[in-house]
Chain A
């Protein structure tokens, strides 16, 4: 039943897609099947939702069904590395073991799915050569459609879907396929196949989307929390003259205890304009330390705090007037009583929500008031005016934080609030509601 449905659906779609895919599809009437539907056919019931990224790789069905962990086929191949280390060499070794172990490549689809799942653990999920190697496991020429009938109906759908899954995982990790990939896909599935279509789309869109982000984050983030904080602060601060200051370096009780530092790091950033604005701030009005707010850098979440003030009411703002004797060389304003005409007014009518000024930002290893007070102390060295301005801590406690590490992520986010700390945080929060420094 679902087969029929799939094919009907696909025929309709293929008409629409034909235009997009251009010359590659014009040759033969080529039916396409939406991968969603296909997946429904070939994998056990949708268990993907539990997986963190929307990969086409099916989860081992046993995991969700049975409490007893059954061995996934070929799992043993990945445990064979003599040193027990999980790196590229052992991954490659496992793949080669599979090829030697089953010369006829029986069960290669299962093995590829398994390998795809294992890639992240071995840290090779961004390695193009490894993906090519996985594709190379497929027997060549066998799945190429040879007659028109084979062309019309999906030829070896399970294998094609597996090929697509490999490419999909490459896409998720931003790996651009190369000529070798193309050559392998042609050898395995032929020119007019789903993996090839996927490949062409990747080729087309990857190049266009590669630099689409105007605020790129480096792929390999620094491991040191101080460096990471510096990076995050620079990432948020638009002013390039802003200066990053490390107010406190992290010190731990023991070398491994990053989770419970006695002295958390405090890194702040402030631009000269912010410094000037803070110097002009009216000391009668309090300023606030707010946070923590989250910032995602690649797959890491960091938290920052800001030092800000409330917006001045319009009537309280001082109008900046042009001094009478300012420019020695030419007048700074014309003494005319008419201004810009409406047809030369390029300003759009934008309803802007104005926010109060932000004077500084910081990222700290801990989000309690004591740590942040140290930041304010550090700021006072460069901003003497801060000594006279009351500072109110409005901290959201741990509520703003991401508590659970995202699945599939090996290391927890940098500041994991320990279980016991939550109570403390609540207390802290209560205190902070009345608390002023």
Chain B
């Protein structure tokens, strides 16, 4: 029955798309389902759900005052009392710093107030994250504690578990850690070796196994542990499934190795954690027995959006520091700031910071809507964009500083080292790109099923319609998805950029349809195609966020909104051209599409496991 419903809905949506594509009729017909399906996913169909993202989400004055009040002491503490250099050199956060963080309540930012936390909304959490990001080791420690460590209890815990654990976690009396990664299991859940077996009295699980690279592993008292358990499924078959457990250190048998020596974020505690015959009471199962996979996925998906604001906070500080240098350092009787190539770098940093800030707060706003909005794709986009921008900007900053940036006496090399992990943890960017692309393609694929089937079966009217549309598209069709114009949501000074976004979105939708037609479900194997799809989507979402924010800034007259317009326009034009290029790469027969050759090179290198070209000085005679 529900399948039938879905089918009807999909068919209706497909029809709606067609109507839109042909005549650009009113947006109302798009609203085929009462519940929103997420902004980013709809982009795959070539439509902009503008009601979701326009206007830019705001917080009310009261909440804003509250957070500003709260931020004062936190900021003071971070600028005055935290010595990041010392933390980095000594490889740990001093006790007193941790105590102070606890007393500020930063260990329970997102724990609901009834359990003793601050109960911050996602937006407020993001705002606070900007300040905390002034020290990366503290950021990572806190994130491991509350973004993933205790998140499981908030998401999947029952009332008793919440009342038992959350208050002490929120106060920082207990620190949490998230134990998923194993030597043989990164993102592959099937290869988890840690095992929990039910004891004979059925009151305990006996937990055995090792977890590696556990942030806070040496400090934590409460662990969220994922282990294989045997369960009997509906067909009476015994199966191994993953279950999540809340494990206290004092359950016994919990040991940890010495802290790992890392490239960056050296102040955070990362180590191996071993469980040996640890007795975990059955009431400490998080969620359902055998339901650990979903718990893990939800925790991981929920934690990502905050990286955007954290990196933005770090970048803003970086811009301050490098600008100070560039405006005082003189070469050839000129300040560095007068050289075009240096100016370019500052523009880049400002632009990246602006974009990721816009995206981070837009996503936080989307997450703060009532209900349980699914913004995992958006959050993944924020993570990918901000981590890559962080790496790029820190590297450019080092370039501005020249040799000085390379010296250990200055904080820049530490920032560079710290920024590197952002591309790796919480799901590597490669994996997240697959997630972004596949989630969207799955959505688009379902909606377009009937249409694609009709084309494949040779339904004449559908084919004629498709061909006709392609013809119209090729005759330089102007796309209007209703962002601009009389009733438009984008300010006229951003009109050009908005039109570019619309054009990109429309042709992206067409390309997605073509890709689905070409590959169907086997697109899972086409990773290079999916990477490009994800890249376009990242650009589209960031363009939308920037346009939405800049429009709001102009309309309410924020300070320096003309600067925002500049940044928004620069970014949109650049992203537009990137998108055009990527779209052409996705075209099967375009000269830009080098996938086959790239694959061949990789195969030849990997077959020999070495660089196989002869040395340029080699001779045959």
A interface residue numbers (CB < 8 A to B): 176, 178, 203, 206-208, 210-211, 238, 240, 323, 325-341, 343-344
Instruction: List chain B residues, Cβ under 8 A from A328.
Output: 180, 187-189, 293, 296-297, 300
Which residues does chain B contribute within 8 Å of A339, judged by CB atoms? 519-522
Chain B residues with CB under 8 A of A334? 438, 441-442, 445, 521, 523-524
A338 touches B442 (CB 8 A): no
* CB pair A329 B621 closer than 8 Å: no
Residue contacts A-B, CB under 8 angstroms, 8 given: A178-B621, A238-B607, A325-B241, A330-B439, A333-B524, A336-B442, A338-B520, A344-B588
The reply to whether the CB of B234 lies closer than 8 angstroms to some CB of chain A is: no
Q: Is the CB of A331 within 8 A of B431?
A: no
Say yes or no for B600: interface residue by CB 8 A criterion.
no
CA A332 to CA B445, docked complex, whole Å = 15
* Contact with A332, one of B296, B524, B608 (Cβ below 8 angstroms): B524
Looking at the assembled complex, report how far the CB atom of A430 sits from the nearest CB atom of chain B, in whole angstroms: 44
B452 at the interface (CB under 8 A from A): yes
Q: Is the interface of A mostly helix, strand, loop or mixed?
A: loop
Q: How far is the CA of A17 from the CA of B521 in the complex (A)?
A: 57
Contact of B449 among A206, A323, A329, A338 (CB under 8 A): A338
The binding surface of chain B is classed by DSSP as helix
Q: Are A329's CB and B434's CB within 8 A?
A: yes
Name the residue on A nearest B434 (C-beta): A330
- Kindly identify which residue among B189, B452, B621 contacts A325, using a CB–CB cutoff of 8 Å: B189
Q: How far is the CA of A325 from the CA of B452 in the complex (A)?
A: 28
Residues of B within 8 A of A238 (CB): 607
User: Which one of A206, A336, A340, A343 contacts B620 once the chains associate, using CB atoms below 8 Å?
Assistant: A206
Contact A329 B520 (CB under 8 A): no
With known contacts A335-B442, A336-B446, A337-B449, A329–B522 Cβ distance under 8 A? no
Q: Is the CB of A325 within 8 A of B517?
A: no
Contacts of B522 in A (CB 8 A): 339-340
Determine how close the nearest CB of chain A comes to the CB of B232; give it in whole angstroms. 16
Answer yes or no: B79 CB below 8 A from chain A CBs. Answer: no
Which residues of chain B (18-41) have a CB below 8 Å from chain A? none
B432 at the interface (CB under 8 A from A): yes
Known: A206-B620, A240-B608, A336-B516. 8 other contacts (CB 8 A): A176-B620, A178-B621, A328-B180, A328-B300, A329-B434, A337-B521, A341-B456, A343-B518
B453 on the A face (CB < 8 A)? yes
Kindly provide the distance from the CB of A301 to the nearest chain B CB, expressed in whole angstroms: 27
Q: How far is the CB of A214 from chain B (nearest CB, A)?
A: 10
Cα of A331 to Cα of B614 in the assembled complex, Å? 41
CB contacts between A and B, total, < 8 Å: 99
> Nearest chain A CB to B378's CB is how many angstroms away?
15
Q: A336 near B520 (CB under 8 angstroms)?
A: yes
B446 in contact with A329 (CB, 8 Å): no
| Minimum CB distance partner of A340 in chain B | B522
Separation of A326 and B588 alpha carbons in the complex (Å)? 31
Q: Which residues of B contact A176 (CB under 8 A)?
A: 620-621
**Which residue from chain A places its CB closest to the CB of B588 in the assembled complex?**
A344
Residues of B with C-beta under 8 A to A336:
442, 445-446, 449, 516, 520-521
Contacts A325-B242, A338-B449 given: A207-B620 contact, CB under 8 Å?
A: yes
A338 to B519, CA, bound (A): 8
Partner of B189 from the list A178, A327, A331 (CB cut-off 8 Å) is A327
User: Is the CB of B408 closer than 8 A to any CB of chain A?
Assistant: no
- CB distance B432 to A325 under 8 Å? no
B427 within 8 A of A: yes
Q: How far is the CA of A341 from the CA of B520 in the complex (A)?
A: 7
Which A residues are in CB contact (< 8 Å) with B523? Answer: 334
The distance from the CB of B184 to the nearest CB of chain A, in whole angstroms, is 14
Contact of B187 with A327 in the complex, beta carbons under 8 Å: yes
- Judge whether B464 is part of the interface by a CB distance below 8 angstroms: no
Which residues on the A side are within 8 Å of B608 (C-beta)? 240
- For the complex of A and B, 8 pairs with smallest distance between CB atoms: A207-B620, A330-B435, A325-B293, A339-B520, A338-B520, A336-B521, A334-B521, A336-B445
Q: Known: A323-B190, A328-B187, A334-B441. Is A340-B519 also a contact (CB below 8 A)?
A: yes
The smallest C-beta distance from B462 to any residue of chain A, in angstroms, reads: 14
**B609 in the interface (beta carbon within 8 A):** yes
Q: Would you call A331 and B520 a contact (CB within 8 A)?
A: no
Question: What distance in Å separates the Cβ of B487 from its nearest Cβ neighbour in chain A?
Answer: 36
Give CA–CA (A335, B521) in the complex, Å: 7
A42 CB to closest chain B CB (Å) equals 31
Contact B190 A325 (CB under 8 A): yes
